[in-house]
Structure 1
Amino acid sequence: MSVGDMYGFLHSGGAMTGKFSYEVAGQLKAYVYRLIDPRCGETFYVGKGRGDRVFQHALEACVPAEDEPGIMSPKLDRIREIRSANVSVEYVIHRHGMDDDTAYQVEAALIDAYPSLHNAVRGHHASIYGMATVEGLLQRYNLPQLALGQEHKLLAITINKLRGRRDHKVIFDLIRYCWPLRQKRAETVEYVLAVDRGVAVGVFKPLRWKPARAADFPDIANIEDEMDRLAFQGERAPQDIWDFYVGEHGKRISPIDLPPARQACRYINC
C-alpha cells in the first residue's frame, strides 16, 4: 500500500483526509491530541505533535501486525480493531498554538488524567512533575539530596509501576527485567540505580546481562519472553553503596544531575 493509499484509507469520504494543509499546520503549531474509540467514546491514546503527527498512528496500523519489528503495540491493535468494526478513529486536538515545552506539559497532564491509555510512556517530565498526592510530595521534597559524581559507572532506570518504596524485592524485580539496551555497553555498568519520580530508591549490582527470557527469572511473576531486550541477574549493592545512593528512605536527584527525559534508561559516567 502506498503512502497516498494509506492516507485515503484513514477516512473514505468526508472532510478528514489524514493530512493538514500547510496553512492549517502553521496555525496549529505544537499541539496535544487524543485518539478516541468511537465504539465506546474512550480516549485510548494521548500525544504531542506538529504537522500531521495526529494521523501517523493510523498509518502505522496499516502495517500488518506480523510485520512489526518485534514491538508489541496495544495502540495499533486498538486502531485495527476499530477498522475491523467498519468505523474510524476519532481525533481531537485538545490544545494547540503552543511551543514544544508547553505542549509536553499539557500532554503529561492529560496522560495522568486518563487511566486506560495505551501510551508506552507517561509523558515528558512526568517522572518528576507528574501526578502525586500532597503527602507524597511532602515526603519526596523532605528527603536528602543525592549528588551524582564520578564515583561509579551507573545505569539509572526510571520505574513507573512502583507502589511504595520499602519493598526492596519489588524494586529489584522491576529494575532487572527488562530494557532495550545494548549488551556491550550494559556490561560496563557497575551499579544499576532505581529511580522513582526523581528519587533514588534502590541500587543493585548486575552480575550478568542476558536476553530477557522468563524461564531464567522464575522468581518474577507475570513476565514474558522479550528476547530483543536485556535483563540482568544480580544482587543488592553492598551496604555502603546503598547508604551512599539511597539511604534509609531514598534520596532526591537534582534535575541538573539527571534531567527529565522520556527514555527510562540513562547511563552515567559510562
Structure 2
Amino acid sequence: MKKAFSKEVINQLKYYVYIYSDPETGEIFYVGKGKGNRVFSHLKDLNNREKNNTIQRIYDKGLNPKIEILTHGLEDEHTALKVEAAIIDLIGKEKLTNRVRGWQSGVFGRVEVNKLISHYEREKVYICEPSILIRVNRLFRYGMSDIELYDATRGIWRIGHDREKAHFAFAVFDGIVQEVYEIQAWFKAGSTFNTRGSLGDNERWEFVGHKAVQSIREKYIGKSVEHYLNKNAQNPLKYVNIKEGS
C-alpha cells in the first residue's frame, strides 16, 4: 500500500475528505480532511488510541485499512471542514473513532429542513413570561434526542436565587429557541444526575421540569431570541422578565 502521493497528485487533489474502513467488513471507522499526504498520517499517528487500536487489529490480520478519498478538488479548508462535518453526522460519531464531531456540525452538519429555515430566517420573537434563556451551544447538535437536549439545558449552572422566579427555561442554540421547558424545581448540582463536572459546587444548580404546553412551544420554538443576548457574554444564562435581586 502506498503511503505518499506524488507532487502531481497533490496538486490535483487540493483539499479533500477521506475515510478509513475495515477491509473485511467495509465498516467506516474514521473520517478526516486535509491536503498533501495528510490521509496517510494516521498509519503512524499515536494520538488517538481507539483509532490506532482499530488499525492495529487490521494489521494483526495481515491486512491494511482501506483508505478512500471521498471527495477532492476542494479549493479551501473551510469547504473541506463543512463536508467532513456532514459526513460525520451522516454516519454518526458513535460509530466512528473520531474524537469529536465535525467542525461547527451544529450548523453545517445534518439538520432537518425546517430547523435550517429557522436558523437562516431568524424570525424574531418577544418573550412575555418570566424565563431563563440557556445557551447550549457547546453541547448542542441537530438530531440529538429529547433527553440529551433536556439534560444539556437543565444543568449544571452557576446561578443565584433569582432562578426561583423563572417559570420557563429556553434551550437556545445560536440564538434560536430549540425547546422550552416548564421548570418544576431547582436542586444542587449532582442531585438528579451525575454526568456533569463541578459536582459538589454549592453555587451550581440544575432544574427538573418538562416540556412546556404546546401553545408555549409553538409560540417560541424555531424563533430568534438573539436580540436578548450579548454574543460576547461569557455567562450562558440570561434572565428575561425577571427583576434581579428583588
Structures share a fold, TM > 0.5? yes
Letter in 1 for 2:27: E
The letter of the residue matching 1:21 is S
How many residue pairs get aligned? The number is 201
Q: Which residue is 1:113 aligned to?
A: 90
Equivalent AA in structure 1 for residue 205 of structure 2: G
The offset of 1:81, in angstroms, is: 2.0
Give the structure with higher Rg (CA). 2
Give a deviation string over 1:231-269, Cα, whole Å, max 9, x none: 774235xxxxxxxxxx95365477xx99xxxxxxxx933
Q: Residues 156 and 124 from structure 1, CA distance in 2 versus in 1: closer, same or farther, beyond 3 angstroms?
A: closer
Separation in 2 of the partners of 1:124 and 1:106? Answer: 9
Alpha-carbon spacing, 1:195–1:45, altered in 2? closer, same or farther (3 Å)? farther
The 1-side partners of 2:175 and 2:98 are apart by 21
Aligned residue number for residue 158 of structure 1: 139
User: Which runs of 5 or more residues in structure 1 are unaligned?
Assistant: 1-13, 148-153, 179-185, 209-215, 237-246, 259-266
Q: Given the superposition, is the C-alpha separation of residues 79 and 172 from structure 1 closer, same or farther in structure 2, using an over 3 Å criterion?
A: same
In 2, distance between residues paired with 1:49 and 1:252?
35
Matched, 1:40 2:12: no
What SS does the corresponding residue of 2:55 show, helix, strand or coil? Answer: helix
Aligned counterparts of 2:225 and 2:101: Cα–Cα separation in 1: 19
1:28 partnered with 2:17: no
Which residue matches 2:51? Answer: 75
Q: CA deviation at 1:38?
A: 0.7
Deviation at 1:157, TM superposition (A): 2.0
Deviation at 1:107, TM superposition (A): 1.9
Change (3 A) 1:217 1:76: farther
Is structure 2 residue 66 aligned with structure 1 residue 90?
yes
Q: Secondary structure at the match of 1:95?
A: strand
Alignment of 1:171-210 (within 5 A): 171=149, 173-174=151-152, 195-196=172-173, 199-201=176-178
Call closer, same or farther: CA 1:155–1:248 in 2, change over 3 Å: closer
Q: 2:193 aligns with which of 190, 198, 220?
A: 220
Task: Give the partner amino acid of 2:38.
Answer: R
- The question of whether the paired residues in 2 share the 8 Å contact of 1:158 and 1:195 is answered with no
Look up the match of 1:183.
none
Kindly indicate whether the alpha-carbon contact (under 8 Å) linking 2:118 and 2:222 is maintained by their aligned counterparts in 1.
no
Q: In 2 relative to 1, CA 219–109 (structure 1 residues): closer, same or farther, beyond 3 Å?
A: same
- Corresponding residue for 1:133? 112
Task: Percent identity, please.
Answer: 30
* C-alpha contact 1:36 1:91 (8 A) present in aligned 2: yes
- The reply to whether residue 249 of structure 1 matches residue 228 of structure 2 is no
TM-score relative to the length of structure 1: 0.53
Q: Which amino acid aligns with 2:104?
A: H
Contact 1:143/1:249 (<8 A) preserved: no
RMSD: 4.8
Residues 76, 136 of structure 1: CA spacing in aligned structure 2 closer, same or farther, 3 A cutoff?
same
Q: Does 1:234 align with 2:174?
A: no
Task: Report the residue type matching 1:88 in the other structure.
Answer: N
Q: Is the 8 A contact 2:17 2:83 kept in 1?
A: yes
Shift of 1:125: 3.5
Contact 2:155 2:205 in 1 (8 A): no
Secondary structure at 2:18 match in 1: strand
